[in-house]
Amino acid sequence: MIVRIDAEPFVFRLPLGSTALILIDMQKDFLDPGGFGAALGNDVSRLQPAVAACARLLAIFRACKMPVLHTREVHRPDLSDCPVSKRTRGNPALRIGDDGPMGRVLIAGEPGAAIVADCAPAYGERVIDKPGKGAFYNTDLATYLAAHQITTLVFGGVTTEVCVQTTMREANDRGYECLLVEEATESYFPEFKQATLAMIRAQGAIVGWTASLSAVEKSLEHCMSSSTAG
């Protein structure tokens, strides 16, 4: 069954049987004070609106019994998968691997690497740990999607212009149809978010589509109510 969503630059066709939601890096290290995002000098409060929106998006997909994936940008404790250039670039208050208020920054298994409670993975939902910005690099995401016959991805997460956009572009190059839910993504720089939304949907959806959360909710309302009734 194909669901039509009112989107930009034109209607997005979402196949219910082969679509998954992917939430990008909704981690404490990016969203909470004391994490890596704050160490870079950012106002992390600017990302907070995405938390509630992603939680709503999760509820929609769970009600429809559609696949959900989560990503986390993390590195091994020995930093063997973290390029020296990534760790040493810039002048942050805390570098990747340093001890911070939420444990070692962006290290797998540390408190700061965890996904925030409102968006925490439910039992059975896939979590992809990635050492880079894009979720396809050095992960088994492509294998997982192929095994589950996923052709379409709906996106939320942070930050819009970095890990979200990078993963969308990677997915687009691999032939996936991609929809970014506008309220479910945020940037430390609001103008970067708006520019990214424009780039994604430019030139006839060159990278993908964008749609409001209410448009997604409206289009999947029947699916949600049918699933609940069942």
163 a catalytic residue = yes
**Mean confidence (pLDDT) of the chain:** 96
Domain count for the chain: 1
Torsion of CA 114, 115, 121, 126, to 10 degrees: -70
Whether the predicted pLDDT of 71 surpasses 70 = yes
Q: What is the CATH number of the domain that holds 127?
A: 3.40.50.850
Full residue range of the structural domain in which residue 171 is found:
2-229
54 a catalytic residue = no
Q: What is the pLDDT of residues 128-171, one digit of tens each?
A: 999 999 999 999 999 999 999 999 999 999 999 999 999 999 99
* Residue type at 131 in one-letter notation: P
Q: What is the pLDDT of residues 92-111, one digit of tens each?
A: 999 999 999 999 999 999 99
25 a catalytic residue = yes
pLDDT of residue 230: 52
pLDDT of residue 223: 85
**Tokens at 47, concatenated:** 């990302």
* Residue type at 137 in one-letter notation: Y
pLDDT of residue 203: 97
In this prediction, residue 229 has a pLDDT band, given cuts at 50, 70 and 90, of low
In this prediction, residue 187 has a pLDDT band, given cuts at 50, 70 and 90, of very high
pLDDT of residue 228: 57
Whether the predicted pLDDT of 28 surpasses 70 = yes
Whether the predicted pLDDT of 220 surpasses 60 = yes
Q: Which of 64, 82, 119, 163 is catalytic?
A: 163
pLDDT of residue 169: 98
In this prediction, residue 225 has a pLDDT band, given cuts at 50, 70 and 90, of confident
Q: Which of 25, 29, 32, 129 is catalytic?
A: 25
Environment class of 117 (CB within 10 Å of its CB; exposed 0-12, middle 13-18, buried 19+): exposed
Q: Which of 130, 178, 193, 223 is catalytic?
A: 130
DSSP string over 77-145: TT-TTS-HHHHHSS--SS-TT-EEBTEETTBTTSGGGSBPGGGPPPTT-EEEEESSSSSSTTSSHHHHH
